[in-house]
Amino acid sequence: MEKTQKRVVTEIEYLGMSGWEKFCHNFVSFFQKLPAVFLRFFTVTIPALALRFWNAFSGIFKKLWIALKNGDWKTRVSFVIMGFGQLARGQIMRGLFYLVFEILFILFMALFGAGQLALFGGPGYTETTAGGWVVGPDGVEHLVPQAVGDNSLLILLYGILTMFFIIAFAYAWYCNIKAAYSAQEMKEAGQALPTAKDDIHSFADGQYHKTLLAIPLLGLVIFTIFPIIFMVFVAFTNYDMEHMPPAHLFQWNGFTNFQAVFGGSLSGGTQFGAVFGSILLWTVIWAFFATFTNYILGMVVAIMINKKGIKLKKLWRTVLIMTVAVPQFVSLLLMSQMLGDYGIINSLLQKWGIISAPIKFLTDGIGAKVTIIVVNIWIGIPYTMLMVSGILMNIPADLYESARIDGAGAFRQYFKITLPYVLHVTTPYLISNFVGNLNNFGVIYLLTGGGPVMTAVGTGGAGETDLLITWLYKLIMDKKTYGVASVISILMFLITAIISLVTYNRSASVKNEEDFM
Amino acid sequence: MAKKFRSKKAVERTTNGVIYVILVVISVIWLIPFVFLVLQSLRGEPGATTNYFFPKQWTFDNYIRLFKNEGVSSSTGEVVSTGSYNFLNWYGRTLLISVCVTVIQTVIVLVTSYALSRLRFKMRKPLMNLMLILGMFPGFMSMTAMYFLLQLLGLTQNMSIVGLILVYVGSSCMGYYICKGFFDTIPKSLDEAARIDGASRHTVFFKIILPLSKPIIIYTILTAFMAPWGEYMFASLIANGDPSYWNVAVGLRDMIQREQLTAYSDSFQRFCAAAVVVSLPITILFFLLQRYYVEGVTGGSVKG
Q: Which residues of A touch B226 (CB under 8 A)?
A: 327
* Spatial distance between the Cα atoms of B17 and B251, rounded to a whole number of angstroms: 45
Q: Is the pLDDT of residue A2 over 60?
A: no
Question: Which of B137, B153, B240 to substitute to test the interface with A, most A CBs within 10 Å?
Answer: B137
Q: Is A516 close to B237, i.e. CB distance below 8 A?
A: no
Q: Is A426 close to B301, i.e. CB distance below 8 A?
A: yes
**A327-337 pLDDT per residue, tens:** 888 999 999 88
Q: Is A493 on the interface with B (CB under 8 A)?
A: yes
What 3-state DSSP class applies to A109? helix
The pLDDT value recorded for residue B99 is: 95
**B91 and B226 fall within a common domain:** yes
* Residue A437 to residues A331, A365, A429, A506, B105, Cα–Cα distance (Å): 18, 19, 12, 21, 24
Burial of B25 (0-12, 13-18, 19+ CB in 10 A): exposed
Of A320, A328, A344, the CB nearest to B49: A344
Which range, A239-243, B30-34, B44-48, is most confident?
B30-34
The torsion angles phi and psi of A147, rounded to 5 degrees, stand at -105, 115
Q: Supply the CATH number for residue B288's domain.
A: 1.10.3720.10
The pLDDT value recorded for residue B261 is: 54
Q: Which position has the higher pLDDT, B54 or A141?
A: B54
**B241-265 pLDDT per residue, tens:** 788 888 899 988 888 876 555 666 7
The pLDDT value recorded for residue B111 is: 93
Of B148, B185, B232, the CB nearest to A153: B148
Q: Is B136 close to A228, i.e. CB distance below 8 A?
A: no
* Domain end among B26, B52, B81: B81
Per-residue pLDDT band for B93 (boundaries 50, 70, 90) equals very high
The pLDDT value recorded for residue A3 is: 45
Q: Give how far A138 is from chain B: nearest CA, Å.
A: 43
Which residue type, as a one-letter code, is found at position A145?
A: P
Mean pLDDT on A223-240: 87
Q: Which position has the higher pLDDT, B172 or A38?
A: B172
Q: Is A482 close to B283, i.e. CB distance below 8 A?
A: no
Of B22, B121, B170, the CB nearest to A222: B170
Q: Is B50 close to A333, i.e. CB distance below 8 A?
A: no
Please say whether the beta carbons of A70 and A60 come within 8 A: no
Question: Which of A224, A339, A513 to substitute to test the interface with B, most B CBs within 10 Å?
Answer: A224
* Spatial distance between the Cα atoms of B211 and B183, rounded to a whole number of angstroms: 12
Mean pLDDT of chain A: 81
A326: left (phi > 0), else alpha (psi -120 to 50), else beta? Answer: beta
Residues 322-351 of A with CB under 8 A from B: 322-331, 333-338, 342-344, 347-348, 350-351
Burial of A512 (0-12, 13-18, 19+ CB in 10 A): exposed
Residue pairs spanning A and B at CB distance below 8 A: 283
Domain extent, residue B68, equals 2-81
**A279-309 pLDDT per residue, tens:** 889 998 999 999 999 998 998 899 888 888 8
Mean pLDDT of chain B: 84
Q: Which of A400-414, A499-513, B153-167 has the lowest mean pLDDT?
A: A499-513
**A115-156 pLDDT per residue, tens:** 888 888 877 777 766 666 667 677 777 777 777 777 888 888
**B71 and B102 fall within a common domain:** no
The pLDDT value recorded for residue A493 is: 81
Residues 154-173 of A with CB under 8 A from B: 154, 157
Q: Which residues of A touch B190 (CB under 8 A)?
A: none
Q: Is A469 on the interface with B (CB under 8 A)?
A: yes
Using CA coordinates, name the residue in chain B closest to A422.
B302
The pLDDT value recorded for residue A484 is: 83
The pLDDT value recorded for residue A514 is: 43
Q: Is the pLDDT of residue A6 over 80?
A: no
Mean pLDDT on A396-404: 83
Please say whether the beta carbons of B109 and A215 come within 8 A: no
Of B141, B172, B300, the CB nearest to A489: B141
**B16 and B165 fall within a common domain:** no
* Residue A44 to residues A37, A57, A64, A386, B126, Cα–Cα distance (Å): 10, 20, 31, 39, 18
Closest by CA to B293, choosing from B244, B220, B239, is B220
**B288 and B206 fall within a common domain:** yes
Mean pLDDT on A430-459: 80
ipTM exceeds 0.90, yes or no: no
Mean pLDDT on A338-349: 85
The pLDDT value recorded for residue B90 is: 92
Q: Give how far B81 is from chain A: nearest CA, Å.
A: 24
**A176-190 pLDDT per residue, tens:** 898 888 888 888 888
Q: Is A228 close to B237, i.e. CB distance below 8 A?
A: no
User: Which residues neighbour A155 within 8 Å (Cβ) at sequence distance 6 or greater?
Assistant: A116, A119, A120, A122, A123, A124
Of B30, B112, B272, the CB nearest to A323: B30
Question: Which of B51, B108, B141 to substitute to test the interface with A, most A CBs within 10 Å?
Answer: B141
What is the distance in angstroms between the CA of the first residue and the CA of the last residue of chain B?
46
Please say whether the beta carbons of B27 and A317 come within 8 A: no
Q: Is the pLDDT of residue A36 over 70?
A: yes
Q: Is the pLDDT of residue A364 over 90?
A: no
* Domain end among B49, B81, B113: B81
Q: Which position has the higher pLDDT, B89 or A511?
A: B89
**B279-303 pLDDT per residue, tens:** 998 999 998 988 888 877 776 555 4
Q: What is the dihedral of CA A413, A417, A418, A422, to 10 degrees?
A: 170
Q: Which position has the higher pLDDT, B65 or A509?
A: B65
Task: Please give the distance of CA B194 from its chain centroid, rounded to a whole number.
Answer: 38
Q: Is A304 close to B22, i.e. CB distance below 8 A?
A: yes
* Spatial distance between the Cα atoms of A282 and A293, rounded to a whole number of angstroms: 16
Q: How many residues does chain B have?
A: 304
Angle A367-A371-A374 from CA coordinates, rounded to 5°? 145
Using CA coordinates, name the residue in chain A closest to B24.
A316
Q: Is A468 on the interface with B (CB under 8 A)?
A: yes
Per-residue pLDDT band for A266 (boundaries 50, 70, 90) equals low
Q: Which residues of A touch B299 (CB under 8 A)?
A: 390
Q: Which residues of B touch A331 (CB under 8 A)?
A: 33
Q: Which position has the higher pLDDT, B77 or B183?
A: B183
Concatenated DSSP letters of A137-155 = TTS-EEEEPPB----HHHH
Q: Which residues of B touch A422 (CB under 8 A)?
A: none
* Spatial distance between the Cα atoms of A84 and A187, rounded to a whole number of angstroms: 15
A270: left (phi > 0), else alpha (psi -120 to 50), else beta? Answer: beta
Per-residue pLDDT band for B277 (boundaries 50, 70, 90) equals very high
Q: Is A212 on the interface with B (CB under 8 A)?
A: yes
Task: Please give the distance of CA B247 from its chain centroid, rounded to a whole number.
Answer: 13
The pLDDT value recorded for residue A167 is: 92
**B216-239 pLDDT per residue, tens:** 999 999 989 988 988 888 888 888
Q: Is A441 close to B271, i.e. CB distance below 8 A?
A: no
Q: Is A202 on the interface with B (CB under 8 A)?
A: no
Using CA coordinates, name the residue in chain B closest to A228.
B142
Looking at chain A, the whole-number percentage of residues with pLDDT higher than 90 is: 11
The pLDDT value recorded for residue A509 is: 47
Q: Is the pLDDT of residue A20 over 80?
A: no
Q: Which residues of B touch A351 (CB under 8 A)?
A: 51-52
**B184 and B108 fall within a common domain:** yes
Q: Which of A194-203, A500-509, B104-113 has the lowest mean pLDDT?
A: A500-509
Q: Is the pLDDT of residue A60 over 50?
A: yes
Using CA coordinates, name the residue in chain A closest to B25.
A316
**B97 and B66 fall within a common domain:** no
Domain residues of chain A, as ranges?
Answer: 18-67, 73-125+149-236, 272-511
**B106-151 pLDDT per residue, tens:** 999 999 999 998 888 888 888 888 887 787 776 666 777 787 788 8
Q: Which residues of B touch A378 (CB under 8 A)?
A: 29-30
Question: HSE-up of B114 (CA within 13 Å, CB side)?
Answer: 27
Per-residue pLDDT band for A270 (boundaries 50, 70, 90) equals low
Q: Give how far A496 is from chain B: nearest CA, Å.
A: 6
Residues 384-443 of A with CB under 8 A from B: 386-387, 389-391, 394, 410, 425-429, 435, 439, 441-442
The torsion angles phi and psi of A229, rounded to 5 degrees, stand at -65, -40
What is the distance in angstroms between the CA of the first residue and the CA of the last residue of chain A?
54
Of A154, A224, A323, the CB nearest to B171: A224
Which residue type, as a one-letter code, is found at position A234?
A: V
**Long-range contacts from B285-292, C-beta under 8 angstroms, 24+ separation:** B285/B222, B285/B225, B286/A321, B286/A324, B286/A325, B286/B222, B286/B226, B287/A318, B287/A321, B287/A325, B289/B218, B289/B222, B290/A321, B290/A325, B292/B215, B292/B216, B292/B218, B292/B219, B292/B222
Q: Is A69 on the interface with B (CB under 8 A)?
A: no
Concatenated DSSP letters of A21-42 = HHHHHHHHHHHHHHHHHHHHII
* Spatial distance between the Cα atoms of B64 and B77, rounded to a whole number of angstroms: 17
Handedness of CA B154, A155, B241, B63 (dihedral sign): positive
Q: Which residues of B touch A232 (CB under 8 A)?
A: none
Q: Is the pLDDT of residue A504 over 70?
A: no
Number of domains into which chain B is organized: 2
Q: Is B304 close to A334, i.e. CB distance below 8 A?
A: no
Which residue type, as a one-letter code, is found at position B226?
A: M
The pLDDT value recorded for residue B112 is: 93
* Domain end among B62, B81, B100: B81
Using CA coordinates, name the residue in chain B closest to A233.
B145
User: In chain B, where does DSSP find H-type helix?
Assistant: 2-41, 61-67, 87-118, 124-134, 139-153, 160-170, 177-185, 188-196, 201-203, 210-212, 214-226, 233-239, 248-258, 267-288, 290-303
Residues 82-111 of A with CB under 8 A from B: none
Looking at chain B, the whole-number percentage of residues with pLDDT higher than 90 is: 24
Of A327, A477, A496, the CB nearest to B278: A327
Q: Is the pLDDT of residue B4 over 70?
A: no
Concatenated DSSP letters of A359-412 = --TTTSHHHHHHHHHHHHHHHHHHHHHHHHHHHHHHS-HHHHHHHHHTT--HHH
Q: Which residues of A touch B169 (CB under 8 A)?
A: 219
B198: left (phi > 0), else alpha (psi -120 to 50), else beta? Answer: left
Please say whether the beta carbons of A488 and A275 come within 8 A: no
Q: Is A442 close to B131, i.e. CB distance below 8 A?
A: no
Q: Which CATH entry fits the domain spanning A272-511: 3.40.50.1980, 1.10.3720.10, 3.40.50.300, 1.10.260.40? A: 1.10.3720.10
Q: Are strands B70-72 and B79-81 parallel, antiparallel or unpaired?
A: antiparallel
Burial of B64 (0-12, 13-18, 19+ CB in 10 A): exposed
Please say whether the beta carbons of A256 and A395 come within 8 A: no
Q: Give how far B120 is from chain A: nearest CA, Å.
A: 8
Handedness of CA B127, B131, B137, B141 (dihedral sign): positive
The pLDDT value recorded for residue B1 is: 47
* Spatial distance between the Cα atoms of B250 and B247, rounded to a whole number of angstroms: 6
Q: Which position has the higher pLDDT, A461 or B260?
A: A461
**B278 and B163 fall within a common domain:** yes
Per-residue pLDDT band for A345 (boundaries 50, 70, 90) equals confident
